[in-house]
Amino acid sequence: MNRRQFIQAGAGLALATPAAYSYAEEKVRRVGLIGCGWYGKSDLFRLIQVSPVEVVSLCDVDKQMLADAAAMVATRQRSKKAPRTYGDFRQMLAAKDLDLVLIAPPDHWHALIMIEAVKSGLDVWVQKPISADVSEGMAMVAAAHKYNRVVQVGLQRRSTPHIVEARDRFIREGKLGKIALVEVYCYYHMRATENPPDTDPPPNLDYDMWTGPAPMRPYNKLVHPRSWRAFMEYGNGIVGDMCVHMLDMTRWMLELGWPSRVSSTGGIFVDKASKANITDTQTAAFDFDDLRVVWQHRSWGESADPKYPWGATFYGDKGTLKVSVYGYDFIPLGGGQSVHRDVTYEFEQYPEDRTEKDLERHVAPAVRYHMMNFLHAIDTRTKPVSTIEEGYISTASCILANNSLKLGRTLAWDSQRQQVANDDEANRLLARPYRQPWIHPDAQSV
Q: How far is it, in rounded angstroms, from Cα 224 to Cα 347?
A: 31
**Cα gap 121→124, rounded to integer Å:** 9
For the chain, the structural domain boundaries read 3-158+360-388, 160-345+392-428
- For the domain spanning 160-345+392-428, the CATH number is 3.30.360.10
Give yes or no for a contact between 24 and 172, defined as CB atoms under 8 angstroms apart. no
Q: Would you state the torsion angle of the CA atoms of residues 262, 145, 366, 58, taken in this order, to the nearest 10 degrees? A: -110
pLDDT at residue 432 in the model: 98
Residue 336, H or E segment: none
Reply yes or no on whether the pLDDT at 305 is more than 80: yes
Residue 11: which pLDDT band, with cuts at 50, 70 and 90?
A: very low
Residues 366-406 pLDDT 10s: 999 999 999 999 999 999 999 999 999 999 999 999 999 99
Q: Which residues contact 95 (CB under 8 A, 6 or more apart)?
A: 57, 84
Statement: residue 191 has pLDDT above 70:
yes
Cα 445 from chain centroid (whole Å): 26
CA 296 to CA 187: how far, in whole Å? 8
The pTM assigned to this predicted structure is: 0.95
Q: What is the DSSP string of 381-433?
A: T---SS-HHHHHHHHHHHHHHHHHHHHTS-EEEETTTTEETT-HHHHHTTS--
pLDDT in tens, 311-355: 999 999 999 999 999 999 999 998 889 999 999 999 999 999 999
pLDDT at 39 over 50: yes
Q: Using a pLDDT cut of 90, give the percent of the chain over it.
A: 93
CB 281 within 8 A of CB 265: no
Alpha-carbon separation of residue 185 from 160, 168, 239, 265, 317 (angstroms): 18, 22, 10, 14, 21
- Quick one: CA dihedral 401, 404, 408, 411, positive or negative? negative
pLDDT band at 9 (very low <50, low <70, confident <90, very high): very low
Bridge-partner residues for 55, per DSSP? Answer: 31
- Cα 338 versus chain centre, distance: 31
pLDDT of residue 304 exceeding 50, the answer is yes
Cα-based torsion angle of the residue sequence 307, 231, 109, 104 in order, rounded to the nearest 10 degrees: -30
Q: Output the pLDDT for position 401.
A: 99
* Interval 123-131 mean pLDDT: 98
Residue pair 13/1 in contact (Cβ under 8 Å)? The answer is no
Taking the C-alpha atoms of residue 206 and residue 318, their distance in angstroms, rounded to an integer, is: 56
| Per-residue pLDDT, 3 | 38
**CA dist list (Å): 256 to 157, 252, 390, 400, 411:** 15, 7, 10, 17, 18
Residues linked to residue 316 through DSSP beta bridges, in sequence order: 179
Give the mean pLDDT of 98-118.
98
Per residue in 218-247, pLDDT tens? 999 999 988 999 999 999 999 999 999 999
For 317-358, list the strands marked E by DSSP. 319-324, 327-332, 339-342
Q: Where are the alpha helices (DSSP H) in 130-171?
A: 134-146, 161-166
Indicate the SS3 state at residue 12. helix
pLDDT score for 7: 41
443 by Cβ neighbours in 10 Å (0-12 / 13-18 / 19+) ranks as middle
Q: How confident is the model at residue 435 (pLDDT cuts 50, 70, 90)?
A: very high
Q: Is residue 24 pLDDT above 50, yes or no?
A: no
Q: Which CATH number fits domain 3-158+360-388: 3.40.630.30, 3.40.50.1260, 3.40.50.720, 3.40.50.970?
A: 3.40.50.720
Give the per-residue pLDDT at 79: 94
Q: In this model, does residue 117 exceed pLDDT 60? A: yes
pLDDT at 1 over 50: no
- CA nearest neighbour of 233 among 49, 435, 29, 47: 435
- Supply the mean pLDDT for the chain: 94
